[in-house]
Structure 1
């Protein structure tokens, strides 16, 4: 199973904002805190890709072979401490040292927590025992495709916020970024394509 092809709609977005429904999905993930630009952030990102490759190798000998390598990241703040943070100024309202994140890669539904734990216990990869089975159902979301450097998201996210507000929506969950192109510390970001996706609920 090629996850990217199996769930093509999930990995597709337009440069213009849109509304969509996202059902439950399963992931391998690892959590962290602080700015996404730190060394430990990139270490965790590299480790989860290696771990998923190892998990896929573990399944290759069965009829449940799969491939998946698109890195996704869920971001959130503890709003009990910092208050509500909307889509448009998500990265500019609060010190990024207070940011929480979950680096994730989507996996087939037949992979369960027990398999992840079993592979982790046999692995000597970094963070092997920190990887978690994670399921999430975002529901109604707004999204768009951002092209280019991450810094440009400071101009793109207000566009998504404006669209959400015009359609009577308010941010209702974790900010979600799907990295359709790989990225590494120090490399040019001009070629990047990133889906910016936020769960929303109707404002009353």
Structure 2
């Protein structure tokens, strides 16, 4: 199996091993694209910049459904359960030696209208693990077809989704950003 850099994926589905990554993160619930979703996305980006991340940090999001939801595989991830029932974690990579104190200090320095007292910011690590992944080009609404290709590929490899669906948004975007040229890595941990 091929090991891959964290921010790389082929245009064709592939089975790879991704490296361990440490993140600043915040939990959320509900459909992507809401005001709260974008607020959390902005907040994590601000905090990652305070912790020495690139000028425009890559925002990543893990998605899953609450316990008791209908089981889903890769291809049908967004089509079986109601999207508003999603749970998510907004993430931005930070240096591996970042401490909880560093995170709290960054939160204070990044304080803006995006910060709320109830926000539960935390360090979160995704360990090195096996995934299937593919690069999606274009609008988020067209991910269904790309996930279908990824799901078919996983089945041919005898692999099943084993953990949250993971999206790496390589291009910065806002609610108003045209989505035609966006690049998103669609990644699912598998067994």
TM-score (norm 2): 0.90
Structure showing greater radius of gyration is 1
| Contact 1:147–1:194, Cα closer than 8 Å, also in 2 | yes
Q: Note the C-alpha offset of 1:121.
A: 4.5
1:26 aligns with 2:22: yes
Give the Cα–Cα distance (whole angstroms) in 2 for the partners of residues 87 and 170 of structure 1.
Answer: 8
1:142 to 132, 150, 154: 132
Give the Cα–Cα distance (whole angstroms) in 1 for the partners of residues 36 and 135 of structure 2.
Answer: 27
**CA deviation string 1:56-95 (max 9, x = no partner):** 2xxxxxxxxx5361110000112x3113111101111111
Give the Cα–Cα distance (whole angstroms) in 2 for the partners of residues 24 and 154 of structure 1.
Answer: 27
1:44 aligns with 2:40: yes
More helix by share: 1
> Which deviates further from its counterpart, 113-122 or 135-144?
113-122
TM-aligned CA distance change 1:23 to 1:118, over 3 Å = same
Give the Cα–Cα distance (whole angstroms) in 1 for the partners of residues 110 and 161 of structure 2.
Answer: 39
- Partner residue of 2:58? 70
| Contact 1:29–1:134, Cα closer than 8 Å, also in 2 | yes
Q: Give matches, 1:1-204, under 5 Å.
A: 9-56=5-52, 66-67=53-54, 69-78=57-66, 80-121=67-108, 123-125=110-112, 126-127=114-115, 130-137=120-127, 139-201=129-191
TM-aligned CA distance change 1:21 to 1:122, over 3 Å = same
| Contact 2:75–2:149, Cα closer than 8 Å, also in 1 | yes
Give the Cα–Cα distance (whole angstroms) in 2 for the partners of residues 21 and 37 of structure 1.
Answer: 30
Q: Secondary structure at the match of 2:23?
A: strand
Structure 2: 5+ residue runs without aligned partners? none
| Contact 2:20–2:128, Cα closer than 8 Å, also in 1 | yes
Aligned pair count?
184
RMSD of aligned alpha carbons = 1.7
> Which deviates further from its counterpart, 87-96 or 123-132?
123-132
